[in-house]
Amino acid sequence: MSDPVRIVEMGPRDGLQNEKTLVGVEARIAFIEALVGAGLHTVEVGAFVSPKAIPQMASSDAVLRGVSHVKGAEFHVLVPNEKGYDAARAAGAKVVSVFAAASEGFSRANINCTVAESIERFKPVLARARDDGVKVRGYISCVLGCPFDGEIKPKAVADLAGTLWDLGCYEISLGDTIGVGTPAKAKEMLRVVAANVPAAKLAMHFHDTYGQALANLYAGLEEGVRVIDAAAGGLGGCPYAPGATGNVATEDVVYMFEGMGVRTGVDIDKLLAATNAMSVVLGKPPVSRVASALNAKKKRAAS
């Protein structure tokens, strides 16, 4: 339980793409630089998708090029197909992510195809990435529940994870996209998936809609998973889950694990500064409980 955890920072991509405010390239670059400066050395910085579909991710090529000078960091970008892969590679991408859903309903609503069709779309991406020496991370959405299909069987998640693993993904991120999971269900799902993919190659991507994300992460830690996706300030949400909050807040994750003696390598004061700067850009306070508490504490100290 005391082994370090690695946090994959999702704020600049999965966070901002679900915010109503469009954030410009310079502000996104500054955000990423600040996050890396806080000790978050793996950051997803953009998505090479249609700007008509997701205008928040427009100019991801300029963002990726704009952070290329940052040393000691690994930058990820999301690609839905070969066209996205071509654009990502042209911008200098060295790590790309592909995504599929554990439920047919979500797959059809989100990317307008079946789960099997989604896999066929990114098979050429994985083949080309292998030839190009590019790492590929795989995402699975709705691993603990779907807004359309309801409960998701752990075997469905495990089968899809095994497919992604066999196709060459170096890591599989398991997403509770609408944040409905609870610790017992999270543990069961992770145990079943770990039969197909080593626990060391799994990541937990838990949203906090029902306030269960930290408890679920703790349960996953007990199962041997040591990679966590989180978003500074709890940015984001899910358009298919009414009232859904974003990813679990990076500040909350760091506070909990460091308090347990589990090292994250993150400077929480620098992280808070990065979160506060983006909150100003978005014109709203962070969702993170820890960020809110620390900001209130600083305000009291200054008065």
Which residues are CB-neighbours of 148 under 8 A, at least 6 positions away?
103, 105, 106, 108, 109, 240
Residue 200 neighbours by CB under 8 Å, 6+ apart? 224, 226
Q: How far apart are CA 53 and CA 105, in angstroms?
A: 19
- Residue type at 141? S
Residue 238 falls in the annotated catalytic set: yes
Q: Are 133 and 101 in contact (CB under 8 A)?
A: no
Q: Which residues of 183-206 are buried (b: 16+ CB within 10 A; e: fewer)?
A: bebbbebbebbbebbeeebbbbbb
| Range list of H helices, 173-240 | 183-193, 213-222
CB 195 within 8 A of CB 157: no
Residue 231 phi, psi (nearest 5): -125, 130
The sign of the torsion formed by the CA atoms of 70, 75, 80, 83 equals positive
How far apart are alpha carbons 31 and 276 in whole angstroms?
A: 10
Using CA atoms, how far apart are residues 168 and 233, in angstroms rounded to an integer? 32
- Candidates 40, 143, 125, 42; CA nearest to 88 is 125
| Among 142, 146, 169, 238, the one annotated catalytic | 238
The SS3 call for residue 142 is: coil
Which residues are the active-site residues? 238
